[in-house]
Amino acid sequence: MGRIAYHTFAIQLPDYTTVLNLDRELLAWREALPPFFTMDNPDTSLDKDHPYLFVQRHLLACEWYYTRITLNRYVCVITIEERADLQAISATTEATGWAVCLF
């Protein structure tokens, strides 16, 4: 997540290839989480003996979603002048599962 912060809070925005690569790494990291930290249908069998897991699981999910939104945030801001490139951007975002927002 440190590399994502380095790229997303830099003075110059990263190119979209960098964003896609970091996003893939972030998705792979999520898939590699242990079963009790999985964000979709987690194993809650340990929660009774370790009640802190419930809170940690939710904090981890919040951080993961925050990081993913931060990483992809600049894609959601498209000026009127850039709308001509919308088809190219839309084709690229289909691979990530993210929608492009027009303002």
Q: Report which of 13, 12, 52 is spatially closest to residue 36, judged by C-alpha positions.
A: 52
pLDDT-based confidence at residue 4 (cuts at 50, 70, 90): confident
pLDDT-based confidence at residue 50 (cuts at 50, 70, 90): very high
Residue 29 has φ and ψ, to the nearest 5°, of -60, -45
DSSP-derived 3-state class of residue 19: helix
Looking at the predicted structure, is the pLDDT value of residue 87 above 60? no
Mean pLDDT over 41-64 rounds to 94
Q: CA 31, CA 4: separation in Å to the nearest integer?
A: 18
Q: What is the pLDDT of residue 77?
A: 60
Contact 83, 102 (CB under 8 A): yes
pTM metric for this prediction: 0.67
